[in-house]
Structure 1
Amino acid sequence: MSTAFRSTTAAQSSTLGKPVPPFTAHAISVSLPTWEDNVDYEKGAKRIADVMVVGYPRFFIHLSIQKLAQICEQKFGTHGEQCLLCPTRKVAEHCRAFMLDRSSQTGPPVPVRLVQFLICPEDDVETLTQCIELHIVLFPGDSFPLAKQFWQHTGNFISSRRAERCLAMLGELPGVDVVGVPSPAIARPPIRVPNRHYAKKSFGRSPPASPASSHFRNGPFRSRDEVLKAEEALSADQSVYLEERYGRNLPLESADACKRALRRRIAGVLVRDNPSDWSNAGGNKAEIGPSTRGVDNVAEDDVFLFPTGMSAIWHAHQLSLAARPAAKSVCFGFPYTDTLKILEKWGPGCHFLGNGLDKDIDELEVILEKEAAADRSRPPVLALFTEFPSNPLLRCADLPRLRALADKYDFLIVVDETIGNFVNVEVLPYADIVVSSLSKIFSGDANVMGGSLVLNPRGRRYTELKAKIPDVYEDLYFDEDAVYMERNSRDFRRRIEIIDENALAVCTFLRSRSISSSSPSPRAVVKRVYYPKWETPAHYERCRVSRDGAPTGGFGGLFSVTFTSEKASRAFYDTLSCQKGPSLGTNFTLASPYVILAHYAELDWAAQYGVEQSLVRVSVGMEDREELLADFERALQAAEATLDNTDA
């Protein structure tokens, strides 16, 4: 093993368990810098658990939410109960129903109680305008893993910012500070107060600061000394000043305008939507025109916002169940893990066609005809869910062919465009519903969660779906999260173009050194580069955004790479000096041994669909292109060095 390789891993090990991006109290990723760190994380190793400050919010409950839950357990729990915190009564009822249903399949139903908790600042006890409702789901402590499934699968949970606002009104510190240090644990007796109202005098200031990742865009390539120096220099007060002084955030009172701006931006109806126009995007003076989404009559009221991308998918399924006759759904292609769980655990179940290739459409036609012949009184399936492209194999379905089948057999098509994004691909014309995780490239800063659902007004079942929206949809998106998301997304088109070009350069480089290149080197260790330019390219090109007949959309910022040995995969991953942790679509490059994190308990199952255990997934960022290529060159050299039978 080279000295350079050892020093790189030593420097990265000091970031283990800390926020990604650095110094960010509401970061949605966590540093897992070595392959072994990821394996030990999945095993629940103490050395990882003891240093985890943050994590991806659907898998790791933020420390502020944990702290608030402890307070609620002390106040309302009995006999060792634990709780899950929900933003509305409807969500809490869904959680209880899920726990009762799943537990009764293997034994007696678990006892579940619901408690409503209204928290107010003391200066608002009369009008209640600034109060926050919490709906607490209480259950025996040993049933927490079941409750956590609901949290993870649905994404319908309170955000860390909502929890911090509640803690502030309770006179408590947040669970983690801006540089990623846990605040003191609760060390006081259970709350005993004369009424339901709590207060903190300082409540009502601008949002707590999460420094934008633009401050750290070269961070992954800085020395350890530079990182430590920056950490010392950047205090919470300074980062608050940055947010407030330079007006990057609208005030909290503008949350409704921020949500309108987000819906208009996603609908593609803002005639002018540059960063300089941000103050008008959600207001009455904004100029609205035909949609740029490929369906020109999409309007902002066809767009619905959610606290997470998975919440948007869960609600798309719930909306389908509410609007159409009950039937199994179809999961087409190897999906992000929780999409399949949603289709399996809610409703009648699903048909899983995990490869997502043309031959799977042939199989789908057989299923459709068989189901239709069995019962001509209802559609053979409820809805088909697919990603465009898929995660992590970056494959695209033949959407026109699927649309023709949907029209013939009268089922819905739901497309997740998170990875492709609507700057690059135009999928709405083929879908009834389009969903996306706004937490990814739409935000880019990796400091806020969000999701969206768009109805196609030209879809044949649009009227039925729109009529059922009031039964299914409620605004769960916390105002402060909306403010951050609006700010982050103002320049998303410009960022995507830079990231597209960087990703294409990196993928072209890696492919040129792979065993599938025109003249592979004897030392080639790259087996395959998964990228939409080369995976099912005809299907991608058909939906690629173009202008005047020429493509303008890129191929996205995400790719996966496999190697000829796991040893080479490990060396490549460990040597990369970019940020390393879960999530994707960040303004900075972020790598992950994705299959280890997403499918550790089902590696053999994933391998059946070509998803290899040693796959490395990379989300390319906005760094200097030459620095990026140099970093990937170093990592590739480390992977190739494993051929020499040295300790690498």
Structure 2
Amino acid sequence: MSSTATVTQTDQLETLGSPVPPFTAHAISVSLPTWRDNVGYEEGEKRVVDVMVSGYPRFFIHLSIQKLARICEQKFGVQDERCLLCPTRKIAEQCRAFMVDRSTKAGSPVPVRLVQFTICPEDEDVSTPCVELHIVLFPKDSFPLAKQFWQHTGICISSRLAERCLSLLGEDTGSPKPPVPAANRPPVKPGNRHYSAKSFGKSPPSSPSPIHSRFGQTVIDASAELMNKDHLNYVEERYGRNLPLEVAAAAKRALRRRIAGVLVHDTPTHWSAAGGHEAELGPSTRGVEGVTEDDVFLYPTGMAAIWSGHQLALGTLPPAKSVCFGFPYTDSLKCLEKWGPGCYHFGHGLDSDIDDLEKLLEQESQKSSERPVLMLTTEVPSNPLLRTADLPRLRKLADKYDFLVMIDETLGNFVNVEVLPYADIVVSSLSKIFSGDANVMGGSLVLNPKGRHYNELKAYMAANFEDVYFDEDAIYMERNSRDFRRRITVIDANTLAVCELLHSRSLAAPSPPPNPAVKAVYYPKYVTSHNYDKCRVRGPNGEFTGGYGGLFSVTFTTMEASKVFFDTLPCLKGPSLGTNFTLASPYTILAHYAELDWAAGWGVEEGLVRVSVGMEDRETLLSGFEKALRAAEAVVQQQKPGEGQAQ
């Protein structure tokens, strides 16, 4: 693997606004290669907004969904109405309820109406099922309110479902198709001869690829490599656009078994049978006796799983405020604030905050005989500060005061951490490292069968759960996740090596260098490690087998050092994490640009850079981070003492 190629400024200009990974029709990230680009995106700068053909799906509505929405607005809308597209009537009704509730609290209720649109194949092909869309229509100036529902819940339609609808309507899809520059266009290569031939000279197919732009590789070189791989066509050509229902059902069973930890054999020779009746199932590896695939529920996004977990609590127990423990991913907090009675936020997530939480619980219990709080949510570890709460202590408080605990294990993942014993509900974004390929969304919710309220929770799910995970998305997710344990091991080791390099040159190092650029590295090895180790996976001999995960954040001694480090780092830049390739973002700028002071109050600095490490060659990775680190250190040395200090 070459370590000499770099991502040039020309490459950055060419990739701004394009999909990450490159040439991926259903990419879940977007290229924002410089600090200035990220600020421009947040400020709606024309230079950035006008070239956006992709984005994180809950923030940027996929072009196929946009095209389908325009068709629905023309067909059913009146007086310049806009719409949101939902997969079921129940979700459409939840969207309408949210819009009416929030607009009423703001002054006056917005008029919202629902339309059902059933789309069937024109040729009456019985092998191709009809698709049912539920359209939420509202005045166009209320679209930002509707977008909140889309963003906070993550349960509207997926881009692949939109493409299925467009296909049934005889329309071209709206998938992004950035061209390959003619001078660098790779040679055309025949498709897989076992399936229908498709020209590689056409726009790239929307299918997963385990090979992405390598760390330090030019975007053009990566594109040529991507488009010369037979595996790019495999899933699309093998299944086509009309997936057999039994294939999707088996894929979902395989996913639920994989997440439940009950597959005795989950290796290449057994993957094809993982969702079948012949698969050998055993006791769960999740640390709780009795977990089965029936305790696992799939969702279209990780956010949908989080939102649904809160809805599950609200639907099962008498309403009360919830507790958000630690500084969470932004929409996780919004779910607790905008649905139900609200929440208490203990934003630092440190042991001292548990002292304050215990005082609050005791005070509320003295005021009333009712349950003091409904549920507590926390991330293990948290995003972006990588902190872990004292889970055994939180579990004891939950048992004493009879509230639910929901843990988001996305960053730790169940290869590294064992959190189910401390939770009633465990949620995760499958879009991240479980998939790795960054080309499909998904989420999961797991119930703890040993939890005090398991029977009520399970009964509620039996009566209310809707499977709205689109079949084709499930096919991709199952295929991507087959080797996730192997990938996590590689990524854990790579991340540890990178963090040790950065930590050794930081203010927090045992012997910090003169004029350091790095202030601190936020990573479970260095942050609340005593709590992380309490839930870290151990082997039969008691030794740790779980790693520290693939994500870290880094802060700098000056803002200029932050910007230079980010701009110099030779990797893909964009939102999301848990990718098989290294991906970086100025996280606070992207997630909290409108509330920078609020975030800083919880220790999340404006200049924080978050990095999700991939599977690249370790020496190449270290060389790239060394280059960015030296550039940042050079900037610090050039500045006068006290000049441009990061806050």
Normalising by structure 1, we get a TM-score of 0.91
Is residue 477 of structure 2 the alignment partner of residue 478 of structure 1?
no
Contact 1:25 1:180 in 2 (8 A): no
Q: How far apart, CA to CA, are the structure 2 residues paired with 1:7 and 1:459?
A: 50
What secondary structure does 1:215 align onto?
coil
Match of 1:222 among 207, 217, 223: 217
Match for residue 110 of structure 1? 110
What secondary structure does 2:249 align onto?
helix
What secondary structure does 1:414 align onto?
strand
Q: How far apart, CA to CA, are the structure 1 residues paired with 2:262 and 2:476?
A: 21
Contact 1:9 1:34 in 2 (8 A): no
Letter paired with 2:123: D
Match for residue 614 of structure 2? 621
Match for residue 492 of structure 2? 500
Structure 1 residues 592 and 98: CA distance shift in structure 2, 3 A: same
Match of 2:384 among 384, 392, 395: 392
Q: Give the Å deviation of 1:6.
A: 11
Q: Give the Å deviation of 1:67.
A: 0.2
Match for residue 516 of structure 1? 508
Q: How far apart, CA to CA, are the structure 2 residues paired with 1:323 and 1:337?
A: 25
Q: How far apart, CA to CA, are the structure 2 residues paired with 1:20 and 1:432?
A: 35
Q: Give the Å deviation of 1:626.
A: 0.3
Letter paired with 2:167: A
Letter paired with 2:217: R
Q: Give the Å deviation of 1:12.
A: 1.9
Letter paired with 2:143: F
Match for residue 307 of structure 2? 314
Structure 1 residues 445 and 180: CA distance shift in structure 2, 3 A: farther
Q: How does 1:388-467 map to 2 (within 5 A)?
A: 388-467=380-459
Contact 1:124 1:131 in 2 (8 A): no
Q: Give the Å deviation of 1:224.
A: 4.7
Deviation per residue, 1:118-165 (Å, 9 max, x gap): 00112337x696111000000000000000000000001100000000
Deviation per residue, 1:449-487 (Å, 9 max, x gap): 000000000001100111111343100100000000000
Q: Give the Å deviation of 1:374.
A: 1.2
Match for residue 132 of structure 2? 133
What secondary structure does 1:122 align onto?
coil
Structure 1 residues 128 and 552: CA distance shift in structure 2, 3 A: same
How many aligned positions are there?
Answer: 613
Deviation per residue, 1:297-350 (Å, 9 max, x gap): 100000000000000011000100111111000000000000110000000000
Q: How far apart, CA to CA, are the structure 2 residues paired with 1:502 and 1:573?
A: 19
Match for residue 144 of structure 1? 143
Deviation per residue, 1:501-521 (Å, 9 max, x gap): 000000000000111112211
Q: How does 1:16-31 map to 2 (within 5 A)?
A: 16-31=16-31
Q: Give the Å deviation of 1:250.
A: 12
Match of 2:524 among 532, 540, 548: 532
Q: How far apart, CA to CA, are the structure 2 residues paired with 1:246 and 1:252?
A: 11
Unaligned runs of 5+ in 1: 182-207
Structure 1 residues 174 and 247: CA distance shift in structure 2, 3 A: closer
Match for residue 190 of structure 2? none
Q: How far apart, CA to CA, are the structure 2 residues paired with 1:95 and 1:645?
A: 53
Letter paired with 1:486: E
Match for residue 277 of structure 2? 284
Match for residue 171 of structure 2? 172
What secondary structure does 1:110 align onto?
coil
Match of 2:297 among 304, 324, 328: 304
RMSD of aligned alpha carbons: 2.2
Contact 2:128 2:242 in 1 (8 A): no
What secondary structure does 2:106 align onto?
coil
Structure 1 residues 247 and 164: CA distance shift in structure 2, 3 A: closer
Q: How does 1:547-566 map to 2 (within 5 A)?
A: 547=539, 548-566=541-559
Match of 2:561 among 568, 572, 577: 568
Contact 2:436 2:578 in 1 (8 A): yes
Q: How does 1:295-374 map to 2 (within 5 A)?
A: 295-374=288-367
Q: Give the Å deviation of 1:284.
A: 0.5
What secondary structure does 2:413 align onto?
coil
Q: Give the Å deviation of 1:251.
A: 5.1
Match for residue 54 of structure 2? 54
Deviation per residue, 1:411-457 (Å, 9 max, x gap): 00000000000000000000000000000000000000000000000
Q: How far apart, CA to CA, are the structure 1 residues paired with 2:242 and 2:626?
A: 42
Contact 2:7 2:571 in 1 (8 A): no
Contact 1:384 1:414 in 2 (8 A): yes
Letter paired with 1:454: V
Q: How far apart, CA to CA, are the structure 1 residues paired with 2:128 and 2:404?
A: 40
Is residue 89 of structure 2 the alignment partner of residue 75 of structure 1?
no
Structure 1 residues 280 and 179: CA distance shift in structure 2, 3 A: farther
Match for residue 188 of structure 2? none
Normalising by structure 2, we get a TM-score of 0.92
Contact 2:23 2:223 in 1 (8 A): no
Match for residue 158 of structure 1? 157
Deviation per residue, 1:232-277 (Å, 9 max, x gap): x559xx7763335789999543000000000000000000011331
Structure 1 residues 616 and 7: CA distance shift in structure 2, 3 A: closer
Deviation per residue, 1:546-602 (Å, 9 max, x gap): 112010000000000000001000000000111100000000000000000000000
Unaligned runs of 5+ in 2: 181-203
Structure 1 residues 542 and 249: CA distance shift in structure 2, 3 A: farther
Structure 1 residues 7 and 296: CA distance shift in structure 2, 3 A: closer
Q: How does 1:30-45 map to 2 (within 5 A)?
A: 30-45=30-45
